[in-house]
Structure 1
């Protein structure tokens, strides 16, 4: 098992599996309905995939399928790492990146996971595995006292409903308030998701801007700043017209490398000016 996992390198075909195929695989295997790879950031899906591939190896009662905070997510990844250790799988889990919900990191981990699971079961789903039942059992074992409190509360509500009779109007009013509270909670969750998406976009923007800034600084290095290729790079970086690409002009500058030295100097001076 460890050998199979170790052979899954970055150039393996696993990492060329598309996002849609990965989502379809997760949903079909675990009977879920996720639409984004970021929804696997909690680590619960990965734990259950290992539970399906190696029945009984994962302590499902420790897996939190409702994990929302990074702390709860990290606990799931600790369970997953313990499973890897038991199976002697030498796979480093980038927990700090995964819990941030970064699409690329979560996609790559799911791609690796699919490749690993397929290498164990030949890509055939375990027909005897009931993913919904396993999740429910995990939830019951994870919080048995809470389940008992809920059951007692429901019993008390049933008794109260039989005795209230004329107070149904008040109960309807309370039900209306509950519906409003549910709507507010749903809207709050949507706002939270939007904020999270904005944060991810800002991080990606800063990441690519930093790369462009590094290229700009490199092109201004005294050793190469007068070369046509450096001038061509700056031409693209400083292009102000968003509708037209500066690539053709940059390519013309690069072809000037075949000109005489005197022509190169003159061309470069014109560009800098």
Structure 2
């Protein structure tokens, strides 16, 4: 259902406390600051509640920590807006900075929009926690289920043992007869696994720092190319063509080079014509 609403002035008078209460009540969250919604995940789920099944929740990252991850969430949200033909431009560059005012204004607009659909009536069949599990929490959910299954299995085995009338004293003696080496082996394995986990965490930290380092450079280049005085400069156009490419194309670099070459040829031609006139 294509919907296009204008932002009512009254929507801007909705305070941050009301916005936070609205988010927490509907999505079963516990946000205390507007900035906590800067990742875009909350906005994606609000649209998912308003239009069940429209948002690809498996693409929404609720654990987003960097601007790069935030931008990916807002891309999902913008795709949903385009799909629903909602004429609303998302100021991603401002929102990902986590500034309170920018995020509050966008959430005010979002609340006004969601309240305009079905009279703002909450979808009672919507399970926000379950839907969030499809946005990056599967591992946590599966771990919980595995833990419960293991606990149930242990309880079941214990009940069977008692039903067979196993002598608890004999069981205790049997436990004392277990080789000490098994405990030693377990301790060694735990130490090895702990060391491996530590090394993996260090590797992940280094990779994240490297990713953020190069992403920061790309953002600086993008901002520079968006400067009004450079907007139509061929080199800026070529760089933006590479930055904004959605798919990997082998010919992309060639196309960017052609833009620059055509500009250089044009300048050379104009220069030659000017010399001939002189």
TM-score computed with the length of structure 1 as normaliser? 0.52
**What does the per-residue CA deviation read over 1:23-78, in whole Å, with 9 as the maximum and x for residues that have no partner?**
00000100101100001110000000000000011011111111111111101101
- Given candidates 132, 135, 152, the residue that maps to 2:132 is 135
Gaps of 5+ in 2: 151-180, 199-278
Cα deviation 1:95-135 (Å, max 9, x = unaligned) = 00100000000001111100100000312211100000001
Do the aligned partners of residues 23 and 140 (structure 1) sit closer, same or farther apart at CA in structure 2, a change above 3 Å counting? closer
- The number of residue pairs the alignment matches comes to 162
The reply to whether residue 58 of structure 1 matches residue 76 of structure 2 is: no
Return the match for 2:83 from 86, 94, 98: 86
CA–CA distance in structure 1, aligned partners of residues 25 and 135 of structure 2: 20
Give the distance between the partners of 2:192 and 2:13, measured in 1 at CA. Answer: 53
Q: Would the aligned equivalents of 2:3 and 2:84 in 1 still touch at CA under 8 Å? A: no
| Cα deviation, residue 139, structure 1 | 2.1
Q: Are 2:98 and 1:101 aligned?
A: yes
- SS of aligned partner of 1:133: helix
| Residue number in structure 2 paired with 1:195 | none
Give the conservation status (yes or no) of the 8 Å contact 2:49–2:123.
Answer: yes
* Residues 147-166 of structure 1 mapped to structure 2, 5 A cutoff: 164-166=182-184
Quote the residue 1:8 is aligned against.
7
Tell me the residue number matched to 1:22.
19
CA distance in 2, matches of 1:84, 1:33: 26
The whole-number CA distance in structure 2 between the counterparts of 1:82 and 1:169 is 51
Q: Residue 64 of structure 1 contacts residue 139 of structure 1 at CA under 8 Å; is this kept in 2?
A: yes
Distance in 1 (alpha carbons) for counterparts of 2:61 and 2:68: 11
- Conserved? CA contact 1:2–1:90, under 8 Å: no
Q: Deviations over 1:194-238 (max 9, x none)?
A: xxxxxxxxxxxxxxxxxxxxxxxxxxxxxxxxxxxxxxxxxxxxx
User: What is the correspondence of 1:1-273 to structure 2 with a 5 Å cutoff?
Assistant: 3-5=3-5, 7-9=6-8, 12-139=9-136, 164-166=182-184
Shift in Å, 1:8: 1.4
For the aligned residue pairs, the C-alpha RMSD in angstroms reads 3.4
- TM-score, length-scaled by structure 2: 0.51
CA–CA distance in 1 between the matches of 2:3 and 2:134?
32
Go from structure 1 to structure 2 and tell me whether the alpha carbon gap of 1:2 and 1:8 turns closer, same or farther (over 3 Å shift): farther
Q: SS of the counterpart of 2:136?
A: helix
